[in-house]
Structures are given as structure tokens and as C-alpha cells.
């Protein structure tokens, strides 16, 4: 098996791909603009954000209570509730249900939790045909790639690349400028598969404790076609998806939709509550909810409680200067961008994800746009601190930091060192720019560095003071 490339190597590869940058810009710039416009029309955003934050904090503080309440009400509605501590347990539960249903083919509506627990691979390994029904998931299934964004999984693909994929897989001509025709082509491919599947698997945007209902939001209607025709519907959901009641779910929806897509409301907001009842014309005969922990309760105990507020809107990555340069795959994890850089070390261990908390400029934009006010930069600093304490920071960086500390604690030496550095840098100046300099290849390989003015800030300040 090929070892996974390091974050730096994967980021360098992404930076060298001009088509990727075009694809990322097309979606993230639109998302940023639409979110901005949506908030202009929603002056109550700040108050809604405060309320959303309070709702999620309350639920996280009383997680045991609301989990029990949800289970009780879901069971009363005829659902079967399963508990999974780990990703492996969650996949095993889903596979057991599929086998009991004699499933050879399952449809799946987009769910990041499903990706997190490795469900697509588990289904394939069990010989069960998996049909991704979300348009973007259909694209990346054809491309045999993982999602690169939590809301737009195929964000890294240009429409030209999608047209080429569809031409090959659908066996039809595709005009990359005619997006509606490409959507129609995917629709024709997927329609028949909805009716063939014995089991439909979806995620959950919210679990409503006082009714045992599960809320999903989509724009394509594929979740409804995934969950209604099959005999069995399985929901996989992280335990942090709970809200106390329907009004709380609506309060969260107002934040989620505007932050994710800039719309006031999604095309489909569906509440699933138990299996088909007597007299119902359609719906699944069995309704299963798999409640997945997979490290979430550990996050409660390790200073990452704030992260459990996340409603997976993707706004932090749309506004992240790093994500917008390299896209999602370079992070090498299910969750990319700022929220992924916080979540992945919690889910997979900081040793494995040690680079991710450093893939950030700490400019604070992610926290500013987060609809539930998650202090992402603070949490990232927490991971950096832990990496340092656990000796995971490379020796060169540690030596550099120690040298900086030594100088910073001695103002005279610090001033001397910076004055010498500034003068040294000027030796490499050509027409006001530094194009090459020993030790700075990481920067100058990709862009020129403005040459320093010649005097340090402190020197200039002293001069002005005089």
C-alpha cells in the first residue's frame, strides 16, 4: 500500500494544479457572495447566532438526558435505535441490518458521518452495491474520489471534468456548458436505481429529542427518494446532532441554510419519524437510527466541547485562505478546512494529524463566519500547544522557536538580531523584491517577497519620536 502523502506534499501538489484553483474559486466565491447577501436580508443573524450557540451548548451540557429522551421517543414511534461507540461498530451495525434485509443494493444520501465511519468502503467490502444519489456524490463515486467539501463534495471538479466523466460513465454526449443537461443525464441514471435498492441510508441534520424524529435537508430531493421506496431506512447520526424540540430545529435551520448556501431555506426539509404506519401509502417498513459516538464524548472531556456545536455548514472552509488555495483533499481527512483541522486530530489522533492545526494563518475569519461561534483559532492553538508538549513538532521548528524565545526575552539582542536580519535581506533585493534567498525557498519558490524598507519598526519609531 502506498503511504499517504504528508500534508505539505499534498498541498504542494494541489497548488501546482491550476484547474483545481479554478474549480475551488467558482464555488467558494459564489458561496461567500451568497452568504453575504443572505445575511444582509437577515438582520437578526447576530441574535439567531447567539440563540443557536445557546441551544447547542445546552444540549451538549445535557447530552445524556437528551439522548435518552430521543431513544425513548424514537422507540415509541416504531424505530429501532442502535448505539455505536466506534466507527467499526457503526459499520458493523449497518451491515448487519443490510444483511438481515437481504440487501444487494443500497442507495445512500450524502452524509459526512457515513464518510467519517468509512461506510462506503465497508459496504463495498461486504459486496453490497452502493449507489450515491446526491449529484455531487454521484460525480465523485464515478471519479472514485472522496469528498473535498462537506456541503459540495465535488467542489474540486470543474464542469468540464464532470462532462468528461459523464461521457464515459453514462455513454452519452455531454456539453460542459449545458449544466441542466448534465443534471438530467445523472437523473436518468439514478432514477431506476432508487427503485432497485432494498435499503436506503441517510444521515441526519438534526435529531429531535421530544419526538424521536430525524430531520434532513437537501436541495435535490434525493434523500426523500433514498429513504422512502426501500423496505428499510437506516439513519446514521453523530450524537451531537440532538436538539430538544422542533422549534429548536427550526432555529438551527435558519442558521444552517444561510451559512451553507446563502438561501433562506433548502428545497427539501424532511422529518422522518418511525417506519410506515398502517394506512400509509409509502415509506419504509423498518426504520433504524444508529447513534454514533466515535470520539465525541472524549471531546467533551478534552477541551473540545465547543466543537460539538458544529452544524456542518461549511462556511468556515468557504472563507478560509488556506482551503481556498489547496481544496479539501490535501487535508487527507474526511473533514477539511478549519473545522477539519480541529476535528481530525480529535477523531484520528494528533500524531496522525499533527500537520493540520498548523495549516492555518489564525486570521480568525472562520470564527467570524461560524453560525454557532466556534472559536476555531483558539482550538487550533490548543492543538498546536499539545503537539509541542507531546514532542510532535519537528526538531528544526522547535529549535527556531527556542531561538525566538531566547531573543524575545532579551530586547537588546532581539533588536540587534532583527536589525541584522533586515539588512541581510536587503542584500538579496532586486528592484524592490526578493526573488531568492537562502532558507526562504518555501516562500520564494511560489512568489516574490517584498524587500524590507531597510529599517526596523523600532528604528523608525525612535526616529519619529525624535
User: Which positions lie near ligand SF4, rule CB under 6 A?
Assistant: 259, 310-316, 339, 369-372, 374
Residue among 148, 112, 138 at smallest CA distance from 324? 148
CA–CA separation, 70 and 261 (whole Å): 29
DSSP reduced 3-state for 82: strand
Nearer to ligand SF4, 141 or 259 (CB): 259
Count of positions (residues) in the chain:
466
Beta bridge partners of 174: none
Cβ burial, residue 100 (10 Å; 0-12/13-18/19+):
exposed
Shortest reach from residue 247's CB to ligand SF4, in Å: 20
Contacts of 433 (CB under 8 A, 6+ apart): 448, 449, 450, 451
CA–CA separation, 32 and 34 (whole Å): 6
Residue among 199, 224, 183 at smallest CA distance from 129? 199
Nearer to ligand SF4, 97 or 372 (CB): 372
The number of beta carbons lying within 10 Å of the beta carbon of residue 405 is 10
Nearer to ligand SF4, 313 or 322 (CB): 313
8 Å CB contact between 135 and 186: yes
Nearer to ligand SF4, 14 or 260 (CB): 260
Shortest reach from residue 338's CB to ligand SF4, in Å: 6
Nearer to ligand SF4, 327 or 371 (CB): 371
Nearer to ligand SF4, 93 or 307 (CB): 307
Nearer to ligand SF4, 52 or 244 (CB): 52
DSSP annotation of 276 = P
CA–CA separation, 164 and 160 (whole Å): 6
Amino acid at each position: 500500500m502506498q503511504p499517504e502523502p504528508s500534508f505539505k506534499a499534498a498541498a504542494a501538489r494541489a497548488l501546482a494544479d491550476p484547474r483545481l484553483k479554478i474549480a475551488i474559486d467558482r464555488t467558494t466565491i459564489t458561496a461567500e457572495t451568497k452568504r453575504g447577501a443572505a445575511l444582509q436580508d437577515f438582520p437578526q443573524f447576530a441574535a439567531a447566532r447567539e440563540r443557536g450557540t445557546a441551544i447547542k451548548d445546552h444540549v451538549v451540557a445535557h447530552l445524556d438526558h437528551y439522548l435518552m429522551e430521543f431513544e425513548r421517543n424514537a422507540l415509541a414511534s416504531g424505530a429501532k435505535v442502535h448505539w455505536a461507540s466506534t466507527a467499526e461498530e457503526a459499520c458493523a451495525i449497518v451491515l448487519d441490518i443490510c444483511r438481515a434485509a437481504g440487501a444487494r443494493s443500497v442507495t445512500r444520501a450524502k452524509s459526512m458521518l457515513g464518510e467519517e465511519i468509512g461506510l462506503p468502503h465497508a459496504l463495498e467490502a461486504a459486496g453490497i452495491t452502493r449507489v450515491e444519489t446526491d449529484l455531487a456524490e454521484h460525480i465523485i463515486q464515478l471519479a472514485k474520489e472522496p469528498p473535498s467539501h462537506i456541503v459540495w463534495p465535488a467542489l474540486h471538479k470543474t464542469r468540464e471534468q464532470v462532462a468528461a466523466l459523464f461521457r464515459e460513465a453514462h455513454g452519452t454526449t455531454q456539453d460542459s456548458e449545458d449544466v441542466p443537461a448534465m443534471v438530467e443525464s445523472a437523473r436518468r441514471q439514478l432514477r431506476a436505481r432508487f427503485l432497485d435498492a432494498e435499503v436506503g441510508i441517510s444521515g441526519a441534520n438534526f435529531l429531535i429529542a421530544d419526538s424521536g424524529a430525524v430531520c434532513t435537508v437537501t436541495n435535490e430531493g434525493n434523500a426523500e427518494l433514498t429513504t422512502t421506496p426501500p423496505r428499510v431506512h437506516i439513519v446514521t447520526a453523530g450524537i451531537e446532532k440532538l436538539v430538544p424540540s422542533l422549534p429548536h430545529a427550526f432555529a438551527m435551520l435558519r442558521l444552517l441554510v444561510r451559512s451553507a448556501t446563502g438561501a433562506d431555506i433548502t428545497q427539501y426539509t424532511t422529518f422522518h419519524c418511525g417506519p410506515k404506519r398502517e394506512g400509509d401509502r409509502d415509506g419504509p417498513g423498518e426504520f433504524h437510527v444508529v447513534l454514533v459516538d466515535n470520539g465525541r464524548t472524549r471531546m467533551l472531556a478534552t477541551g473540545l466541547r465547543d466543537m460539538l456545536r458544529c452544524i456542518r455548514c461549511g462556511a468556515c472552509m468557504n472563507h478560509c485562505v488556506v482551503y481556498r488555495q489547496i481544496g479539501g483533499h490535501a487535508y487527507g481527512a474526511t473533514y477539511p478546512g478549519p473545522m477539519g483541522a480541529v476535528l481530525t486530530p480529535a477523531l484520528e489522533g494528533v500524531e496522525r494529524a499533527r500537520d493540520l492545526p498548523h495549516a492555518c494563518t489564525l486570521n480568525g475569519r472562520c470564527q467570524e463566519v461560524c453560525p454557532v461561534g466556534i472559536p476555531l483559532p483558539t482550538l487550533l492553538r490548543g492543538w498546536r500547544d499539545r503537539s509541542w508538549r507531546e514532542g510532535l513538532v519537528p526538531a528544526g521548528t522547535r529549535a527556531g522557536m527556542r531561538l525566538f524565545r531566547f531573543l524575545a526575552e532579551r530586547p537588546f539582542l532581539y533588536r540587534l538580531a532583527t536589525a541584522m536580519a533586515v539588512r541581510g535581506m536587503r542584500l538579496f533585493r532586486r528592484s524592490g523584491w526578493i526573488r531568492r534567498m537562502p532558507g526562504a525557498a518555501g516562500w520564494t519558490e511560489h512568489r516574490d517577497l517584498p524587500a524590507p524598507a531597510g529599517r526596523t519598526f523600532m528604528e523608525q519609531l525612535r526616529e519619529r519620536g525624535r
